[in-house]
Structure 1
Amino acid sequence: MPQFQQHASWRLEGGGQVIDLETAVKDGILGGGGLPSGKDGTLGAAAEKLDLKKTIEELDSAAEDVPSVFICPISLEPMVDPVTLCTGQTYERGNILKWLSLGHLTCPTTMQELWDDAVTPNRTLHQLISAWFSQRYLLVKKRSEDVQGRAAELVQSLKKVKGQARVEALKELQKMVVAHPSLGNALADSGGVALLSSLLGPFTSHAVGSEVIAILVNLSLDSDTKASLMQPARISLVVDMLNEGTIDTKINCTRYIEMLMAEKSFRCEFMLSLSLLVALLRLAKDKRHPNGIAAALSLLEAICSHEQVRSSLVSVGAVTQLVELLRNLSPEGSVPALHILDDLSTIPEGLSALKDCPQTIPNTVRLLMRASEAGVQYALSILWAVCKLAPDECASLAVEAGLPANLLLVIQSGCNPELKQRAAELLKLCSLNYTTTLFISKCKLTRTIQ
């Protein structure tokens, strides 16, 4: 039977041929750039020192331009131990042996019948794969070391420079942290995170503070670091920047506070600052910046989960402002706003503010059939609380706003049974002041309009 023979030359897809490993890589056929060589000039000297499988795993996200000839047709992953069948097709050893062990007598790629089930190591391709990945690994490692070195230089410079020079150094460091997420560990180990934290204080300029915050929100901080960042003077600086900074600074400040709130040691009295609540509501109403609206609502939602803060939110006019905001939010974007309003409805002053706001019922009814199931849950809860508080006044307004028809649709939808039950109860509440005939006509009328 014919057997696969290993040739000194290696044929590429498209008919091109390279004589050896050096020509293949040095000429850029497999990705360009020369390979590292040993003192004796042999290519791949570094490759021999690297474990190919480990190298490929570490380069999983960095080597996106892997040549197709290195990919196993079965697993679609780079090959570590390529072997060739009698048909000339090459596969990862483990994959093709598993294929054969299942009783298949054909080549997986060509479906040709195999006249010999032996597999032959493809040493030339293995060398090419090893050399290519070793080159990429060393390049990525060098870039990482260069980045870490430059970051260390910037951290050292922050101890000396002041004013605009410090701002420029922080800006460069921020760009590096965003581009290289793994840099955070190096900064923590070198004391860079501690230094950045120390730059936040009562006498920090907003220019410096905003850049420091922009860096910190992109790092994974430990509990001790977060605890130090909760000092009142530092929180006060962040609140000031949230009121007066650029839109990017405001968004970063919301992310920063939300990050600190996730810590068990976070003290909720920090959130009672009326200046903080007013700044967030102002950001939530800024139609020019949708990202700012989403960030503000996300933080307000987290803050409102603490009952101690709800009265303060109501006192700064959160109910009316959020109800008005519902008109301009997408169904997805409305969920946190509805959640906040639902939380505020649990305290007497919040529920009273919802009842007294003329847009509460129409704006909430409008979202009822557009929101997600979570949004529907919050909307029904708000409407139930308001109508229950003043059934004669609010139930009539809800009927005129088209609530019955929407409730019928909720009942007929595929949402969970609890929501259907709440919709049925609310529908019954709305019908109390109407005769059966009149209520049915209202349902049909509003349903036609909808």
Structure 2
Amino acid sequence: MTAYWCESAWLTGGFARRVRLVTQDGLIKDVLVGADAEPDDIRLAGVTLPGMANAHSHAFHRALRGRVNGGGGNFWSWREQMYAAAEQLNPDTYFALARAVFAEMVLAGFTVVGEFHYVHHRPGGQRYRDPNAMGLAVRQAAEEAGIRLTLLDTCYLEGGLNGGGHVELHPGQRRFSDGTVDAWAERMAARSPETDRVRLGAAIHSVRAVRREDLPKVVAASGSLPLHVHLSEQHGENLACQMFYGRTPTELLDEAGALGSHLTSVHATHLTEHDIELLGGTGTGACICPTTERDLADGIGPSRALHDAGSPISLGTDQHVIIDPFVELRGIEMHERLVTNERDRFSANDLLLAGSFNGYRALGWSDGGHLSKGALADFVTVRTDTVNTAGSAADQIIYSCVAADVSTVVVGGDVVVSDGRHRLGDVGRLLGLAIERVAGAVSL
């Protein structure tokens, strides 16, 4: 057993002081409130929170940060630059980049990540000797970085959708595709089994990338696995879907039997009132990625309306223009303030649930994201004496802290970050070396 004495902590019942978390075999064995520290306890000064969940990640997009601005453009022009970076990936470069990105996430306070994984094959689409070599690289990267992983193996079959129908794959997309749903499902079924740190999931890239007649097949093949999908991120997707199929992307997914508590819609930015009713009424989750949605000029989604309708809100860093769970959870609140001219659209507890428990549940880890007896021993401590947090009320720390204020991160009872330093060492150096092998090889 290992015990951690927390100066203060955010428990399932609310904020508490002098909390002793006793861990054993990767779980929280006991929670004692108002307790004195014992001699062998690890002392955590500041506020201890449940581990944060990054419910939507494309690890290799991190290579684009700070390199693709200038010259105008939009999501669709940015996508061409993303394809260029993807062309440089192989199992070795992908492992190095994902390991560094996942380590950056842990430093920031993330303890689990959902990797929306679609770079499956060689450039051009030829398979590796092991068809899941790229997914295995992601798994190994997460293990070394000390983060839990849900590998969301993505079905990506078409090049896009316009008013006339689906289009052929772009050359940069060919390595994403298995050709058919059956081939995707067969490869997905051959993945290495789950472990205590890795769980398996599936994804529909979007209604642009999977035909109407194939959507039910993907749903059936995913079975009981967590299923994720990019949904209505762009007006163009909605317009094309209406023109060709005569319905919204949400309605198309509903027709395919995809909606439900097992499904997480990513972005869910441009929705009709009926879409919101469908998602909320079926308990379909919504993963909001505020910094990405700002950076790519996607728009502001109806987070509060989805929440009120019954959709659990989770958070993701997506293309990693920044990796900071606290910036993301404040982002959904600040976007609501901009749209409504009202403050406190979400309570602090709502925001923390979005950043922790809801994300864990969306990724198939309902035993994590909360500090209670029997839960996964995943937690993060934020300092209260930094230039960002000094003077903040401890129970409002999520409104002032940033990733740099994280002092300790524990995953499965193991200390991965101590005194603000990751056990791998200089994560900035790891990032620089890995990104140079990918982004440095192309003009971005």
State the TM-score, normalizing by the size of structure 2. 0.26
* Greater relative contact order (Cα < 8 A, sep 6+): 2
Give the number of the structure whose alpha-carbon radius of gyration is greater.
Answer: 1
Task: Kindly indicate which of the two structures has a greater share of residues assigned to strand.
Answer: 2
State the TM-score, normalizing by the size of structure 1. 0.26
